[in-house]
Structure 1
């Protein structure tokens, strides 16, 4: 039996590469004759560069960029031919802000990553958006590329209050003919009821009562730069870094599609008898561009069953099938929460072995 193993990261415990390896190890213990094909996955968030490197090879370049509060922060970019892949979460991810000082955190480091890719000779830069700890509308990213304004652009959303003029002509000059791609599965616009602050601000530490004012700062910034672009789907991705990239002429591609294409996911699913996917918490929000839903859709297109292994399963059978998943199994239900966090790889392998009893021929 051929089994394709295509999980996302298990946030806070395992990378996608580690999760795929753990699932394959556990499955092989129970069904050693089965052929396991590991295809760790990602959307545009944390793990984007690692997963693409595993799939495409290429050269990983180490750089140091500004963190969300200006501190030196290590990051990497992947260069494959004349295409570079960067992951904004490495520069200003939620793990770097820890939900602290959300009104001061900046995306400057993400712009420095783009700049490093251009300096490395990239003609196309694919920017993975996701897992951001910032809500500055990508102002910091633009500042790193040379944008100027009548306010400080790289000191977080609070610094944007009162903005009346933002000039990005120097950014365009610096980028030259470089093609930008915003890799994101988020469709929200920059401001308003479904904007960056309202939709994602709370998970980045913004108190509910502060959201209207932060949204107002982003409104002023958008009026000063390009109001029309701020209304486009995807402008609100990664705290508004989508807006900054779209303002520079970037095209949009779903992050999952970028990775699925690089890993030849459909072709590998067609060659399998069963597809396995997973993530830390499998819930109905998984439909919003997350990896398990994307993997399940690919499996359905080639008429292969898809099963999910997750840290926790928070949906019922009906919702599960609406997501295209035949069955879902939870690590926590098998080994308990304490063991799941103490030995995540071992616990996931144990779950995989248990699932193989049911699904392996």
Structure 2
């Protein structure tokens, strides 16, 4: 059998390459003569650069940017010819800040803007920004400030709180900085910027915003939209990364689903067509997986190639009928096999054990 292994990261425990290797190791314990092909994936969030670097090569560049919780952090971007690939989570990632130290009302995307400026200085003429897994909720105002945008009545680099009193925004310098550059924003969700289905209401709680702060932060982003482009605030993906998608669209960026961009770059459709079975996975396989996440994207591609797709995850929180609606034949959970505590303590070992069990069920000829 030929097995294509194309997982996302398992948030907080395994990178996508680590997950792919663990699945392969477990499968081969049961089926040592099978051909396995590893294709670690990303939806634009953490792991975006690693997946592209493995496929495209290129040069990794380091940039020191302000940390969200104090000390500066070293972020990387990938330069391939004159295209720069930037991962928002490198500068403003949720995983960089312990839950008890998150300050979403004052955290800014300024550091991400510094990475874009460094890529511009390095001669990039196309910049692809993967947006996902961020700790900020500032509508991308900090990013705009780092590229030269100005404001009256407020600070663009002060998080939602800094936008209090905003009366106008001047984007001229920021737009001039990227005037000769093709910008692409690769998003992991379709969320718009504002309202009940917007960035703040949907993802603010996981970033640490209280119920009261959700209302305040959304109002601040609404004011930012009114001072720039209210229409763009309703665009799919504008709410990605707490509004980083919106800021990049203000600068002329074209939006692409991150999973689609990665899949095309890695030739996933062709690789799926040559496999007998496609395995994918993520930390929690749930209803949010449909909103631009890796398992859904991989399952769509596998389905188009008429290949079965199976999910291995830390937890599986949807039933068989819902899985079929997502194009997934079956889902298997590490927590069901070994319990949540051991799955978190020994994720590679448990995932390998789970893959070995899946091989017994899905291997042809057994």
Instruction: Tell me if both proteins adopt one fold, taking TM over 0.5 as the criterion.
Output: yes
Alpha-carbon separation, structure 2, partners of 1:282 and 1:315: 7
Instruction: Report the equivalent of 2:126.
Output: 124
| Displacement of 1:188 | 2.4
**1:179 matched to which residue of 2?**
182
- Distance in 1, matches of 2:43 and 2:288, equals 14
Instruction: Give the Cα separation in 1 of the matches to 2:321 and 2:179.
Output: 50
| Alignment-derived partner of residue 337 in structure 1 | 340
Match of 1:142 in 2: 144
Match of 1:101 among 103, 116, 124: 103
2:289, 2:295 within 8 Å by CA — same for their partners in 1? Answer: yes
- Partners of 2:60 and 2:228 in 1: how far apart? 34
Displacement of 1:148: 0.8
Q: TM-score, normalised by structure 2?
A: 0.96
1:143-182 mapped onto 2 (5 Å cutoff)? 143-150=145-152, 151-182=154-185
8 Å CA contact 2:12, 2:95 repeated in 1: no
Distance 1:23 1:324 in 2: 20
List alignment gaps of at least 5 residues for structure 2: none
Give me the CA root mean square deviation.
Answer: 1.2
Q: Which moved more, 1:219-228 or 1:248-257?
A: 219-228
Give the structure-1-normalised TM-score.
0.97
- Cα distance in 2 between the residues matched to 1:70 and 1:5: 38
Shift of 1:69: 5.3
**Structure 1 unaligned regions, length at least 5:** none
1:298 and 1:136 mapped to 2: Cα distance? 34
Q: 2:314 aligns with which of 311, 314, 324?
A: 311
CA contact (8 A) 2:190 2:292 kept: no
Of the three residues 241, 246, 259, the one matched with 2:244 is 241
2:269 is matched with: 266
Identify the residue that residue 350 of structure 1 maps to in structure 2. Answer: 353
Q: Are 2:207 and 1:213 equivalent residues in the alignment?
A: no
CA-CA distance at 1:118 after TM superposition: 1.1
Q: How many residues were matched structurally? A: 361
- Asked if 1:203 is matched to 2:206, the reply is yes
Q: In 2, distance between residues paired with 1:229 and 1:328?
A: 37
User: For the residues of structure 2 that align with 1:196 and 1:354, how far apart are their CA atoms?
Assistant: 39
**Would you say the 8 A contact 1:68–1:108 is kept in 2?**
no
Secondary structure of 1:225's counterpart equals coil
Aligned equivalents of 1:54, 1:161: Cα separation in 2? 43
Secondary structure (helix, strand or coil) at the match of 2:183 reads: strand
Q: Does 1:322 align with 2:325?
A: yes
Q: What is the aligned partner in structure 1 of residue 117 from structure 2?
A: 115
Which aligned runs of 4 or more in structure 1 are off by greater than 6 angstroms?
Answer: none
Question: What is residue 26 of structure 1 aligned with on the other side?
Answer: 26
Distance in 1 of aligned mates of 2:231 and 2:281: 38
Partner secondary structure for residue 243 of structure 2: helix
SS of 2:236's equivalent in the other structure is coil
8 A contact 1:93–1:131 mirrored in 2: yes
Residue 272 of structure 1 contacts residue 304 of structure 1 at CA under 8 Å; is this kept in 2? yes
Deviation of 1:312 after TM superposition, in Å, equals 1.0
